[in-house]
Each structure stands twice: as C-alpha cells, then as structure tokens.
C-alpha cells in the first residue's frame, strides 16, 4: 500500500515559512491524504489552525490522550495516531523536528523525515532530512504515493523474495542523453548521477521503501549483505548504503551475520565465461553450502524470532539467496526477506531444500549438490516496475 497519512509535529508547522507550511498541508489534502498533529500539551486545534490559516488535521494526538500518559518516544503515540486515522503503521510518514520525534518514529518502525527548518538533528541520529516543506512533498511523490512495484516477487515458508528490476534494464541518468545499466553501478562501481543524487542511493532507497510500504520492514529487523566470493568481503556498493540507511527504518546492519569462510568461484564470472565458451556453467548450490555460514557470534537465541533482510546486488537462479534463507531458518530466524536489485533470467526462483543435516554456524564442507532438493518457484512478474523507476528518475532529473 502507498502512504495514506502523515504525522506532523507541532513545531514543524509553528516554525519556518508559514506560506510554505500552508502549501505542504494543501498538497496533503489535495492528494487525498490525511494528517495527524502531534503536540505534547493539549491545544485548541481549531483556533490554532485558524490563526495560521491551516486546514484542520484529520487526527490529533497529545500526551493527555496517550494511554498511560507516556512521553514522546513511546510507540503508543503512533498507535493512537494510526487508530484515529484507521491506517497501518507502514502507511504513515512521520515529519518531525526533534530527537524525540526521531525516536518515536523509529521505535514504531515508521519512516521518518526530519524538518531542518524546525530543528537540527545530530549526525549520529541518521534520518532523511529536508530543508523546506516542499521537499517533503517531493520525497513523497518520488517514493511513497504509488503501489510498491517489483520486477519479480515470490514467497515461501518463512521467506519473501523481492527483485527491484530486471538485470538487463537500461535507465537514464544526468549526463545528457546518457543511459546506464545496473552493472555500471553495482559491478563496475562507476559513478552515475541522477539529478543531485547518486544512482545507487536512488535504486537502493527505492528497494527499501518498497519493502516498508509492503509492511515487511519491521522495526528492529537486521540487515546484512550476502558475502562476495572472497572471504571477508561484501559488495561495497551495498554495504556503504545499507549500513547508514538501516537506521532510517530503525533496523540494524550486521556485517558479520553471514560469513564467507572459504573462497568460492565467482559465479557471475563463471556464467559469463560459460556463455562465451558455449558450455554449461560450473555452478551449484554446493558452491554456497560449503563456503558460507552464519557468524558464530549469533549462536544461542540471538536470532530467535528475528526478521532478517538479506541484500544482494544480483540473483539468477537463487542459489546464494536460497542458501542464506536455509542458514537463517536453521539458526531460528522467523522471517527472511531476500532482496536483490537486479534479476537475471526468467521469472523463476529455485529454492533448495536440504536433504542432509545442516550446521548453520560452521562450514558444511561435506554437502554436495545431491544433498539438496530443488524446487522451482514461479515468480510474479510486473513490467510496470521498470516504468515506475523511469518515472522516479524523471522527477529527480527535473
């Protein structure tokens, strides 16, 4: 579902340019969205709105009506707002001006935007920050007002797979008349700009916001990157974005959650070489099963009941992501979100069920391809995902 309502702190609308604030509220109502006003102390909302020539909010929350009189920071504030607005938490955007606003949204797992004209936020409190009210509507129009669309998606017992775009997609960038491929950004690490943003940030934020709008981005989830073929390495493009971006949704990045203990063949290069040489690629699930395990720091009950998002730049048949799902399931994770930027091949994902004992916290060096039963899972294909991304890029370029 797209965002249906905004929570706005009182100080956001009390400070700054009143005309710009009125324009933001007019945009909200013009889009058919609702908004909820937050104040600590009770306020005569009708009189306050009339004095500022603001439309009245659809809902109003102050400490006096929050159960138990809890202070800002408690999820009870968001729960009260969602109840009045009749929306789910993942259908909200919170616009605030203080650390307490940031914490309230984060504890509830609600996407947060910080209004810099109403208050500063220290560097250690990572958030999407905007300098003017019009930037709130620009951000929402770019990312939050359409249904989240995936080029490919599917699900199984305890896991969800989401692929943002086909790996072959070609997209426009800031250079006049120039186009770029996903491989330019994530494989060759070439600098590509879309407006005043780098392409990686636009693509990855699109993926994370889509997960949020689906209600899959639960607060407190852990995020990791599937390891590269060399021990101790992951995609620098993914890690450099996801480590700070995880805090936007009050999640936690865990670099050592999945570990490549033994060097493995680079599957992308092997597939490319096989295509050039006209032979079958020497790639199997055993390549992953005998080289990757869950970090030993996570033994015991640390993963019990957790939601874990495993990100990878590209997926083809799904061997890497399927092995990640198997390991995390064996380690006690409740829900695994498998997230890829690009997908090669057809609208199918292969899930590999182990037929032998799997030890999640150590290398399973005895496992072979015969120890897995492959299950071909058809994926839902949505060609509109490519157009949605082009429309989003057009907004940045404009």
Q: Where are the domains of the chain?
A: 5-143, 152-384
* Distance from chain centroid for Cα 80: 25
Long-range contacts of 188-196 (CB under 8 A, 24+ apart): 189/236, 189/237, 194/393, 194/396, 194/397, 195/396, 195/397, 195/398, 196/396
Question: Does an H or E element contain 14, and which?
Answer: helix 10-14
Q: What is the pLDDT of residue 84?
A: 98
Distance between CA 204 and CA 225 in Å, rounded?
A: 13
**Cα–Cα nearest to 360, from 314, 308, 303, 312:** 303
| Torsion on CA atoms 78, 80, 82, 85, rounded to nearest 10 | -140
Distance between CA 118 and CA 290 in Å, rounded?
A: 53
β-sheet bridge partners, residue 161 = 154, 338
Please give the chain's pLDDT, 398 residues, in tens. Answer: 799 999 999 999 999 999 999 999 999 999 999 999 999 999 999 999 999 999 999 999 999 999 999 999 999 999 999 999 999 999 999 999 999 999 999 999 999 999 999 999 887 788 999 999 999 999 999 999 999 999 999 999 999 999 999 999 999 998 777 999 999 999 889 999 998 899 999 999 999 999 999 999 887 899 999 998 888 788 888 999 999 888 888 899 999 999 999 888 776 666 666 666 666 666 789 999 999 999 999 998 899 999 999 999 999 989 999 999 999 999 999 999 999 999 998 999 999 999 999 999 999 999 999 999 999 999 999 999 999 999 999 999 88
Q: In Å, how far are 81, 271, 278, 281 from 275, measured between CA atoms?
A: 55, 6, 5, 8
Neighbours of 290 (CB within 10 A): 19
Q: What is the pLDDT of residue 282?
A: 66
Tokens representing 104 are 């309230």
Neighbours of 32 (CB within 10 A): 8
Domain topology for 5-143:
Rossmann fold (3.40.50)
Distance between CA 56 and CA 97 in Å, rounded?
A: 20
* Predicted structure pTM score: 0.93
| Torsion on CA atoms 314, 315, 316, 321, rounded to nearest 10 | 160
β-sheet bridge partners, residue 61 = 38
Q: What is the pLDDT of residue 80?
A: 98
Q: What is the pLDDT of residue 300?
A: 87
Residue whose tokens read 């809890």: 70
Q: In Å, how far are 155, 263, 355 from 359, measured between CA atoms?
A: 24, 19, 13
Residues in the chain: 398
Distance between CA 261 and CA 292 in Å, rounded?
A: 6
């Amino acid at each position: 579902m797209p965002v249906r309502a905004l929570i706005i702190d009182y100080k956001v609308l009390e400070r700054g340019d009143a005309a710009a604030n009125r324009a933001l509220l007019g945009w909200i109502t013009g889009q058919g969205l609702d908004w909820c006003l937050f104040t600590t102390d009770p306020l005569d909302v009708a009189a306050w709105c009339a004095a500022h020539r603001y439309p009245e909010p659809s809902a109003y929350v102050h400490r006096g009506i929050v159960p138990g009189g809890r202070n800002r920071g408690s999820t009870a504030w968001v729960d009260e707002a969602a109840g009045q607005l009749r929306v789910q938490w993942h259908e909200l955007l919170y616009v605030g001006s203080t650390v307490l606003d940031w914490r309230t949204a984060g504890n509830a797992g609600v996407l947060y935007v910080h209004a810099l004209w109403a208050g500063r936020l220290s560097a250690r409190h990572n958030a999407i920050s905007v300098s003017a009210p019009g930037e709130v509507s620009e951000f929402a129009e770019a990312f939050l007002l359409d249904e989240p669309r995936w080029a490919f998606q599917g699900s199984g017992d305890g896991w969800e797979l989401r692929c943002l775009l086909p790996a072959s997609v070609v997209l426009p960038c800031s250079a006049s008349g120039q186009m770029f491929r996903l491989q330019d950004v994530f494989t060759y690490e070439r600098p590509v700009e879309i407006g005043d943003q780098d392409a990686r940030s636009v693509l990855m934020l699109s993926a994370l916001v889509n997960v949020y709008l689906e209600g899959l981005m639960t607060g407190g989830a852990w995020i990791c990157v599937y390891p590269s073929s060399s021990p101790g390495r992951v995609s620098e493009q993914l890690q450099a974005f996801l480590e700070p971006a995880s805090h936007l949704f009050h999640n936690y990045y865990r670099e050592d959650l999945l570990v490549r203990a033994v060097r493995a063949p680079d599957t992308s290069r092997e597939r490319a070489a096989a295509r050039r040489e006209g032979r079958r690629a020497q790639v199997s699930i055993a390549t992953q099963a005998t080289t990757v395990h869950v970090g030993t720091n996570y033994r015991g009950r640390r993963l019990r009941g957790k939601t874990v998002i495993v990100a990878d730049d590209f997926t083809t048949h799904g061997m890497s992501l399927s092995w990640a799902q198997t390991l995390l399931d064996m380690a006690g994770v409740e829900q695994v979100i498998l997230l890829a930027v690009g997908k090669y091949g057809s609208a199918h994902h292969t899930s590999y069920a182990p037929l032998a004992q799997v030890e999640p916290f150590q290398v399973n060096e005895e496992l072979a391809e015969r120890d897995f039963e492959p299950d071909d899972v058809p994926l839902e294909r949505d060609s509109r995902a490519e157009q949605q991304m082009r429309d989003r890029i057009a907004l940045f370029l404009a």
